[in-house]
Structure 1
Amino acid sequence: MSEELSELARRRGFFFQANEAYGGVAGFYTYGPEGAALKRNVEETWRDRFVTREGNMEIDSPTVTPEPVFRASGHLDDFDDMLVECPECGESHRADHVVEDNTDVEDAESVPTGEVEDLIAEHDLVCPDCGASLVGQPVEGFNLMFETTIGPGSGQAGFLRPETAQGMFTEFPRLKEYARNQLPFGVAQVGTGYRNEISPRNALLRTREFTMAELEHFVDPESEGPDLDRVADVELPLYPVEAQQADGEEYVHLTPHEALDEGVVAGEWVAYFLARSKQWFERVGVDMDRFRFRQHLPGELAHYASDCWDAEGEVGGDWVELEGVASRTDYDLSKHEKHADDNFTVFQAYDEPKTVERATVDPEMSYLGPEFGGDAADVADALADLAARDRSAFDDDTVTVEVDGEEYMIPAEKTGFEVAEETESGRHIVPHVVEPAFGVGRAVYTVLAHRYDTDEVDGETRDVLRLPAEVAPTTVGVFPLMDKDGMGETARDLAADLREAGLAVTYDDSGNIGRRYRRQDEVGTPYCVTVDYEGLEDGTVTLRDRDTTDQTRVELDGLAELLGSLRDGEVSFEEL
């Protein structure tokens, strides 16, 4: 982060390290008054786009989650980062970051740990803190979840959630009822996540506590996809795997239809949400000349994803991940279907009943019991799974199944195998999931970096934050030209009336009018209103535009409605 923007963030109250009075702890930040308002507005535009306009539902699930949920989801085994510890000072570091910061390797996160150890040795890399050699030090997986205990004493093991997604997956049996068992449907959540980062850095970009905005979109993979005509004109800047492996920076600029036709993007829902995401990032102020979608490399994919594209913004010469659009297939719901005591399928009715052949087994437990003892029930279940999967396995005199790595042989005549015709009115399916998952803090950080500018006004250098009016912390600053002759009283009454109308307003009568304008320019306030002598006589005020510094006189009557229209993009300042 540039020194200028870092200083602005602290001085003007966008964000700063938390608990500084006690020395602070890396990876935790407090949003100040300006930052909290900006963050809230960014979240509201996300809700508008991905909840309201898409017709989705929103929930708010707990941040503390019992251990069995993460055992089922795979997070206990696979939610790791690479850790290397300095033998001298004892500090722990992200091994892939040490490699990326000191070599030409750009995606060390996707490289196996053994190869990362080799890269450390090949480049003779050292501890970033004390300079001691890291050569020969083991690179190990470190689980990022914060562990806690639920209840007194030893209690029940739990974790602070590293993502909001599992709250939506575990509640799926109830949520599908709210959706009337009709696919597709989406469930959204905006909330806090926690990851015990090895080496948090770059302000809001890598923290230990953060806000995520996630949408889990449940679909039938065999049904029709989205209406791509709604996003037909959106051009996607795509950086696919092939281009990355060729060590090039060649992006392909394709519409969703073109990306699907050319096989660059595999799924219609993924293409649709890439387009909606680009529209949203542009809406909140991300510079589209410094924006791309990068496809995950094979070794980089999360354990639950079959494909994923990251929305990235360029900040300070580095590409920052802002969002992941992942195809999670049926991984999550299938895992919970297996481990939980509930039904994670959806019944999809056929247009007309169908007659199908179904293979079933009715094993003779009087044989399996004495023969296999305590494993008899598991053998029977394995036979049923095999019949559904491969009925030809029952053609021979004996049938072989595997339970916990051990093979069991059963005479075919003892399995009760048969194929019968049945009439079905529908089928139970485990829905697939497409997930757009956004880092809210990263979006806020990138918008600040992309919208921070310096220009010259009246011969003076001006720092200006060119935030879209919709997300700016304050919509309008209200000033009296001077706090005398009734101008101050009129301006204060006006500020109160505008607040009552639902606008974010700041009142300022300190210093000369030029300085007051500069203060509002620096925090991104798009409009300023000044009450002067002329306005006291004719009921008008001066309305000033932040970006151009142009001014015009407008009537006090209807000012709240006018400012609301300007904020919402229904009218432009030039039209006035």
Structure 2
Amino acid sequence: MSNESPSAVAADALERTSERLVELAKRRGYFFQSSGAYGGVGGFYTFGPQGASLKSNVEDAWRDRFALEEGNMEIDAPTIMPEPVFEASGHLDTFDDMLVECPDCGESHRADHVVEDNTEYEDAESLPIPEVEEVIAEYELVCPACGAGLAGQAVEAFNLMFATNIGPGGAQPGYLRPETAQGIFVEFPRLKEYARNTLPFGVTQIGRAYRNEISPRRSIIRTREFTQAELEYFIDPETDEPDLEAVEDVEVTLYPAGEQAADDGEEIRTTIGEAVESGTISSPWVGYFLGVAKPWYDAVGVDMDRFRFRQHLAGERAHYAADCWDAEALIDGSEESQDSEQRESTESSSGYWIEMAGFAYRSDYDLSKHAEHSEDRFTVFRQYDEPKTVERATVDPDMSYLGPEFGGDAQTVVDGLETLAERDRSAFESETVEIELEGETHEIPLEKTGFAVEEQTEAGEHIIPHVIEPSFGVDRLVYTVLHHAYREDEVAGEERTYLALEPEVAPTFVGVFPLQNDNELEALAEAIAADLREAGLAVTYDDSGNIGRRYRRQDEVGTPFCVTVDYETLENEETTVTVRERDTTDQMRLPVDDLAKTLSALRTGEIAFEDLEE
């Protein structure tokens, strides 16, 4: 890796990196605020030609590692889903942030962030709303925008989902999905068939998600529309175990909840195997995916000296998560980033930490909820090693009695009797059995229920799988990759800005230039560019301005290599070109006949530029 650690970067350069990066991103076509012709709208960004390519390359790298290499399937579900999906998942009731509105300027703010930024409270999100209101009053907290007092202002729960209507007339309410996961969970009854009803199996999805953030900020770090890459891995918690040997030696920096709560708490440097064995990472499955993710982050360009896994505190875990670890990256503390968000970023002397991914143990929460609210089956059959003889309580109700007695509710009564027999046999020990129906208790004679306890031989049982979820924020990762790749140096007495992007994800891999505006040079350069494109490489052709300026342009967008066609190319017996490496600016002459093959090997890492002379 060519990334430098924070200690190797001058402090003054570090503090201005974010500001300069955002300016570079706009100028060179990485990302910029959307709808600029109409004044822009907060929380929505457009990825330009360079950014869209970088984002696509990152997504392809994720797909290769977490779908193809792991043997998982991929789906593409709709971004709008009907209201019952989110009733079942709990998002309608629990997917809220705390909002406080300034009485003077009308600006809305995350109340828990206002508290965390200005008091000693580090986990205000876990406090009840009345207590947050008391803290705001006690500390006389003010509006971050205009300085007006917020004491006495109501703090309200604000649901982050975008609402819409499906079809005309608003007959069917729906929501833009706040996560791609629900699109996987609701299709589980069909997806398990594709997996031949065999656990474990994984389903991935890369797509858009939407959250109506109260105060989006920090360019593409916190937006209202973003891309997620998620894996839902379904397991049998009693029998399935991960291949920990494959990742046990992966070295990681961990920040467990206990260390965060301690006055002298600090990060722990260990291995995945040691962390799982000691119980620091309680779930071996979560440990496995942390071990898979760490080298992948390294490969796409995240600086490992500015990377860690932080465990969620109890108060900040999502409603579905039994445990969760975030992959975090350290970003500099520039002026645009001073309004710290404590839940997702912890202040550091050299910057702040942002969440790039969450690795959650969701247990059977999601599938159980959808099984409860829907009419489908969210279970998988677990085969026993040997058939078992078990006692089962059954009912065979007398419908000639229930029909006249309960009319259209007779089937509801039957369902209630079946559930009661399964859960509480003692309810059938009296002469009558009590059933609740629309808030009223009804007594049914025992002989009319057909209750019996029978011995049955079973080959297995239906279980609801547990879910392990690695959920990656693609936009935040793109920002981190750009931020960690940002460099400033001096070449031949001139200041230079460049992006040290990894070849695998760089939006343009090679620039091809004729040295001068010469018909023969231009024709050969265009032919070389065409050959390289045919070989599958991302190529840009540039014949504008002097060669130094062309190099600088490509350096600034992160192009790893540049090929220059000069007069020596035409004069030598063997046709060669000058190949320049971005980070070192070293140059080497290489034969044109082998150019595509050589550059392809450089992109995949099969060879290094400095080894080419050999």
TM-score of the two chains, using structure 2 as the length reference: 0.89
Asked if residue 548 in structure 1 is aligned to residue 564 in structure 2, the reply is no
Match of 1:195 in 2: 211
Moved more, 543-552 or 54-63: 543-552
Which of 433, 449, 457 aligns to 2:483? It is 449
Whether the 8 Å CA contact 2:359–2:469 is kept in 1: the answer is: yes
1:57-136 residue pairs with structure 2 within 5 A?
A: 57-136=73-152
CA displacement, residues 455-494 of structure 1 (integer Å, 9 cap, x when unaligned):
2222222111111110001101111222226222211111
Q: CA deviation at 1:557?
A: 0.8
Superposed counterparts of 1:154-553, under 5 Å: 154-316=170-332, 317-363=351-397, 378=412, 380-391=414-425, 394=428, 415-484=449-518, 486-536=520-570, 537=572, 538-553=574-589
How far off its partner does 1:233 sit?
A: 1.6
- Distance change in 2, residues 1:140/1:269 (3 Å): same
The answer to which of 68-77 and 405-414 deviates more is 405-414
86-95 vs 395-404, which moves further: 395-404
Per the alignment, in what secondary structure is the counterpart of residue 169 of structure 2? coil
Distance 1:291 1:343 in 2: 41
Corresponding residue number in structure 1 for 2:336 = none
Shift of 1:115: 2.5
- Provide the C-alpha distance between the structure 2 equivalents of 1:314 and 1:111, rounded to a whole number of angstroms: 27
Length, aligned pairs only? 576
Structure 2 contact 258–265 (Cα < 8 Å) conserved: no
Name the aligned partner's letter for residue 254 of structure 1: T
Q: For the Cα contact (< 8 Å) 2:302–2:484, is it kept in 1?
A: yes
Report the more deviating stretch, 107-116 or 26-35.
107-116
The one-character-per-residue Cα deviations of 1:36-85 (angstroms, maximum 9, x if unpaired) are 11101000000001011001111111111111111111111111111111
- Supply the AA of the counterpart residue of 2:254: L
Residues 383-436 of structure 1 show CA distances to partners (whole Å, capped at 9, x for unaligned) of: 433433344565567766767877777676665443322111121111111111
CA distance in 2, matches of 1:449, 1:106: 26
Give the superposition deviation at 1:353.
2.0
**Unpaired segments ≥5 residues, structure 1:** none
Give the Cα–Cα distance (whole angstroms) in 2 for the partners of residues 504 and 456 of structure 1: 27
Cα contact 2:247–2:273 (8 A) shared by 1: no
Q: Which residue does 2:601 correspond to in 1? A: 565
CA, structure 1 residues 571+157, in 2 after alignment: closer, same or farther (shift >3 Å)?
A: same
Q: Match of 1:558, SS? A: helix
> Are the equivalent residues in 2 in contact too, given 1:452–1:464 (CA < 8 A)?
yes
Where 2:593 maps in the other structure, the secondary structure is coil
TM-fit CA distance, 1:221: 1.0
Most deviating of 199-208 and 227-236: 227-236
- 1:485 to 1:22, Cα distance in 2 relative to 1, 3 A: closer
* Aligned-partner Cα distance in 1 for 2:106–2:581: 54
Partner of 2:337: none
Which residue is equivalent to 1:43? 59
Q: Which letter does structure 2 place at the counterpart of 1:303?
A: H
The question of whether the paired residues in 2 share the 8 Å contact of 1:124 and 1:135 is answered with yes
- Taking the aligned partners of 2:168 and 2:514, their CA distance within structure 1 comes to 59
SS for the counterpart of 2:168 is coil
Indicate if the aligned counterparts of 2:486 and 2:498 stay in contact, CA closer than 8 A.
yes
Corresponding residue SS for 1:182:
coil
Is contact 1:99-1:119 (8 Å) kept? Answer: yes
Name the stretch that deviates more: 482-491 or 533-542. 482-491
Displacement of 1:526: 0.8
CA-to-aligned-CA distance 1:439-469 (integer Å, 9 cap, x gap): 1000001111111011222222211111111
Q: Contact between 1:110 and 1:297, CA under 8 Å: does it hold in 2?
A: no
What CA distance in whole angstroms lies between the structure 1 residues aligned with 2:402 and 2:270? 60
Give the whole-Å Cα distance in 2 for the aligned partners of 1:113 and 1:367: 52
Q: Is the 8 A contact 2:73 2:203 kept in 1?
A: yes
Match of 1:149 in 2: 165
- Contact 1:307-1:326 within 8 A present in 2 as well: yes
CA contact (8 A) 1:379 1:408 kept: no
**Shift in Å at residue 357 of structure 1?**
2.2
Residues 359 and 85 from structure 1, CA distance in 2 versus in 1: closer, same or farther, beyond 3 angstroms? same
Identity, in percent, stands at: 67
Contiguous gaps of at least 5 residues in structure 2 = 1-16, 333-350
Tell me the distance in 1 between the aligned counterparts of 2:487 and 2:496. 8
* Partner of residue 10 from structure 1, selected from 13, 26, 30: 26
**Matched AA of 2:596:** A
How far apart are the structure 1 equivalents of 2:437 and 2:134?
Answer: 39
The structure-2 alpha-carbon separation of the partners of 1:275 and 1:101, relative to structure 1 and needing over 3 Å to count, comes to same
- State how far apart, in whole Å, the 1-side matches of 2:380 and 2:316 are: 31
Distance in 1 (alpha carbons) for counterparts of 2:316 and 2:562: 48
Q: Kindly provide the amino acid, as one letter, of the partner of residue 93 in structure 1.
A: H
* Alignment deviations for residues 483-506 of structure 1 (CA, whole Å, 9 cap, x no partner): 226222211111111112111011
SS of match in other structure, 2:392 = strand
Note the aligned Cα RMSD (angstroms).
2.2
- Provide the rounded CA distance (Å) in 1 between the counterparts of 2:28 and 2:585: 21
Q: Is the 8 A contact 1:194 1:210 kept in 2?
A: yes
TM-score norm. by structure 1 comes to 0.94
- Matched to 2:247, the amino acid is V
Larger CA deviation: 368-377 vs 94-103? 368-377
Q: How big is the shift at 1:117?
A: 1.6
